[in-house]
A and B are shown apart, each in its own frame.
Chain A
Amino acid sequence: DAMVIQNPRYQVTQFGKPVTLSCSQTLNHNVMYWYQQKSSQAPKLLFHYYDKDFNNEADTPDNFQSRRPNTSFCFLDIRSPGLGDAAMYLCATSRDRAPETQYFGPGTRLLVL
């Protein structure tokens, strides 16, 4: 089935140790998004790619970066994770910009020790 895949599902890292989360999609969608979701909270958009164009949210910390080497893959890099970065990270895609529906991956739960 066409879908949004996130690896790994669970990631443990140490305080300050860089970590990369990955997302891939078989939907051939133009737009890919990264959300941060803390426990019992709504997802918060970090940034998105429209094709190769990167769009950062104004309040996304510089500690968070992203790469999209091709249509299918998108990576979230956390350069120096802090305890406050422990969260579920959701990848989503949409065929195009608004008003297209977003399709979500299962998420990667990040634990920072």
Chain B
Amino acid sequence: AQTVTQSQPEMSVQEAETVTLSCTYDTSESDYYLFWYKQPPSRQMILVIRQEAYKQQNATENRFSVNFQKAAKSFSLKISDSQLGDAAMYFCAYRSADNNNDMRFGAGTRLTVKP
């Protein structure tokens, strides 16, 4: 079974600076999808960014980008120019490309942004 590991339970960053959240996963599959979700306090979980495993190019969404290292099974999230609104729980998730609908989440990283 696939597992997702987020080794940083908590991270903090100064406003306007850059922070990187780590995620590693374990799978024997070659085709899959990786996601970063953001869950602000008392608010719903929203998709931050998504990466298809067959794509070599790292996904980017405005201030958010990933470093996808398929061989190393690593999928880190970089947040540039951090803003106070980025403070949230961040979950890394893995989903198989077949019809198995089980999306595996990591334990999450709580990000604090200091003004």
- Chain A residues whose C-beta falls within 8 Å of the C-beta of B95 in the assembled complex: 98-99
Tell me the interface secondary structure of chain A in the complex: loop
Interface size of B as a range: 20 to 34
Q: In the complex, are the beta carbons of A42 and B108 less than 8 A apart? A: yes
CB distance from A10 to the nearest CB of B (A): 11
Q: In the complex, are the beta carbons of B91 and A101 less than 8 A apart? A: no
Stretch in B12-20, B56-64, B99-107 with 4+ CB within 8 Å of A: B99-107
| A48 to B46 CA separation, bound complex (whole angstroms) | 19
| A107 to B43 CA separation, bound complex (whole angstroms) | 8
User: B residues 60-115 with Cβ under 8 Å of A?
Assistant: 91, 95-103, 105-108
A-contact bits for B24-46, CB 8 A (1 contact / 0 none): 00000000010101000001111
Q: Which of B97, B105, B106 contacts A99 (CB 8 A)?
A: B97
Known interface pairs A42-B91, A42-B108, A90-B45. Does A99 touch B33 (Cβ–Cβ under 8 Å)? yes
- Chain B residues whose C-beta falls within 8 Å of the C-beta of A40 in the assembled complex: 108
| A101 to B93 CA separation, bound complex (whole angstroms) | 11
Of all chain A residues, the one with the shortest Cβ separation from B98 is A98
Does A72 make an interface contact (CB < 8 A)?
Answer: no
Known interface pairs A43-B91, A98-B33. Does A106 touch B100 (Cβ–Cβ under 8 Å)? no
Q: How many residues of A contact B (CB 8 A)?
A: 24
Known interface pairs A42-B91, A42-B108, A101-B50. Does A50 touch B101 (Cβ–Cβ under 8 Å)? yes
- Chain A residues whose C-beta falls within 8 Å of the C-beta of B96 in the assembled complex: 98
Does A20 make an interface contact (CB < 8 A)?
Answer: no
Q: In the complex, are the beta carbons of B107 and A33 less than 8 A apart? A: no
| A62 to B112 CA separation, bound complex (whole angstroms) | 38
Of all chain A residues, the one with the shortest Cβ separation from B102 is A45
